[in-house]
Amino acid sequence: MSRLVVVSNRVAPIDEGKQTAGGLAVAVLAALKKTGGIWFGWSGNVVEGESQDQPTLTEAGRLTYATLDLGRRDHDEYYNGFANQTLWPLFHFRLGLIAVSRRTRQGYERVNAWFADRLHPLLRPDDMIWVHDYHLIPFGEELRRKGCTQRMGFFLHTPFPPPELITALPNHADLIRELCAYDLVGFHTVTDLRGFLDYIRQETDGQVEQRGDEETATVRAFGRTLLAKVFPISIDTAQLESIARTSARSRQTERLRESLVGRRLIIGVDRLDYSKGLPQRFEAFEQLLLSYPEHCNRVTFLQVAPPSREDVPEYIAIRRELSELAGRINGRFAEFDWMPIRYLNRSFGQRTLAGFYRAANVGFVTPLRDGMNLVAKEYVACQDPDNPGVLVLSQFAGAARELEEALIVNPFDVEGVADALQRALTMPLPERKERHGALMRRLRNHDIGWWRESYVDALTRAPYD
């Protein structure tokens, strides 16, 4: 079996037990433990002066972490700049927010080339290389330039927009050519794949071949042949079910329950990001209290929103906006013994959140656009099957494609979302159980192991020409 080399902007903390393990970390760690290999990327540290010259190698069984500190300039141009002020808003359909600058674009290309340079000496001829996310699109082409012929796959964790949006990016063809340097390009949903294929059809002289399967296509473009395919990421369903059973009785969950004094609970958990639709979500909760005043002093909305990308101006702005909104809504509706919105700018570990999800009557997941959204899947997996809560889910989250039995909403339609909350809060037990049962069947069949194995299997079969 070939050794696996995983490349991602962030490398999960070495102390696996401590951290909230995201889908990427769970999948990658399991795959690397199986085949042995390297996990290569940014250490998460920013240093004054130049980026670290050689990676720090840390052995953990058959797995080697290879991490690099980024210098301030590289971090500003590559991570804060092109990745998070250009590609992130572009890929989340927010053209009004994109910053276009040659300096950050060059920084992005430069850091990708530098990363590739640092990984190159660690590679073996038979390695399989799996690169993750929008920070690292040029990485594969940089390795090819150095003569690497290994199988290389890329997985995009964000949405991929239609060509009408991509073409707003200067030199967009270069970015798509870089994507075509991989043998396998994975997307979360059919819509994302279609965006990529439409770009190839409309903007290049390449060809797309789809044989009756809307989830898979062979692409011939920029002198290369690659497979583009849908692989919806998922969660470790069985493990989370078991954690939630235990966490249901944890001290923190008990404290949360006691603090509610019999009130119903709506929960939202998101990085503090403008793509998550938090202002509209707060307004929808306010609308619930206006349209259905019987919920005043009977329902609490707990929103966990750890700050993210705090150097980027749009993230500073959304943080200010949400603090004001939460303050205004609470000021308007609060009683001396009830705070309608509990808004927390901090994170919690996976075990704590699992207990909170289980205690919540409604999971409130309403991004304006999201690649997948694993919180939606986690909320479902953490429910008590005998008395499950209801998921209210945005039609614009990748997860809505699979989680059809959730209450699917348009997050821009504040009144419609308030009505969905009302329906969730009043849904009879048999309907809740039926919906939850159907959702769980899908999450058990398509868990994180399934995602990882289907991707790695497809990559093993490369090249595709």
Contact yes or no for 244/440 (Cβ under 8 A): no
Nearer Cβ to ligand F6P (133/286): 133
Of 158, 172, 190, which Cα lies nearest the Cα of 369? 158
Window 398-457: residues binding ligand F6P (CB under 6 A)? none
Would you count residue 157 as binding ligand F6P (CB under 6 A)? yes
- Of 104 and 253, nearer to ligand F6P (C-beta) is 104
Judge whether 328 and 1 are in contact, CB under 8 Å. no
Q: Is 252 or 308 the residue whose CB approaches ligand F6P more closely?
A: 308
Which 8-state DSSP code applies to residue 311? T
Tell me how far, at minimum, the Cβ of 15 lies from ligand F6P, in Å: 17
Q: 424 Cβ partners below 8 Å, 6+ apart?
A: 361, 362, 389, 390, 392, 407
> Among the options 157, 188, 295, 436, which is catalytic?
157
Nearer to ligand F6P, 40 or 222 (CB): 40
| Contacts with 252 (C-beta within 8 Å, 6 or more apart), sequence order | 352, 355, 356
Examine the residue annotation and report whether 157 is marked as an active-site residue of this protein: yes
What is the pattern of x (binds ligand F6P, CB under 6 A) and - over residues 355-394? ----------------x-----------------------
**Total residues interacting with ligand F6P, rule: CB under 6 A:** 9
With beta carbons less than 8 A apart as the criterion, state whether 315 and 309 touch: yes
Structure tokens at 453: 């194995």
Catalytic residue among 370, 419, 436, 447: 370
**Taking CB under 6 A as the rule, does residue 276 contact ligand F6P?**
no
Residue 90 CB neighbours (<10 A) = 24
- Write down the least CB distance from residue 310 to ligand F6P, Å: 10
Using CB under 6 A as the binding rule, whether residue 133 contacts ligand F6P is answered as yes
Is the distance from CB of 208 to CB of 200 less than 8 angstroms? Answer: yes
Are 50 and 38 within 8 A, CB to CB?
no
- As measured in angstroms, the least distance from the Cβ of 307 to ligand F6P is 10
**Residues of this chain, 306-365, that bind ligand F6P according to CB under 6 A:** 308-309
Radius of gyration of the chain, Cα coordinates, nearest whole angstrom: 22
Q: Is 393 exposed, middle or buried (0-12, 13-18, 19+ CB in 10 A)?
A: buried
74 belongs to the binding site for ligand F6P (CB under 6 A): no
To ligand F6P, the closest distance from the beta carbon of 161 in angstroms equals 15
* Residue 370 annotated in active site: yes
Burial grade of 441 (CB within 10 A; 0-12, 13-18, 19 or more): exposed
Q: Which of 15, 18, 23 is nearest to 240 (CA)?
A: 23
What is the closest distance, in whole angstroms, from the C-beta atom of residue 308 to ligand F6P in the complex?
A: 5
Site for ligand F6P contains 94 (CB under 6 A): no
Bridge pairing between strands 151-155 and 128-132: parallel
Nearest residue (CB) to ligand F6P, 158 versus 234 = 158
- The residue (of 216 and 308) whose beta carbon lies closer to ligand F6P is 308
Single residue of 10, 264, 401, 444 touching ligand F6P by CB under 6 A: 10
Nearest approach in angstroms of CB 79 to ligand F6P is 7
Which among 92, 103, 111, 101 has a CA at the least distance from the CA of 169? 101
Peptide bond into 463 cis (omega under 30): yes
Interactions with ligand F6P, residue window 19-58 (CB under 6 A)? 22, 24
158 binds ligand F6P (CB under 6 A): yes
Least Å distance between CB 255 and ligand F6P? 28
Between 24 and 148, whose beta carbon lies closer to ligand F6P? 24
Residues taking part in catalysis:
157, 370
Applying CB under 6 A, which residues contact ligand F6P? Answer: 10, 22, 24, 133, 157-158, 308-309, 371
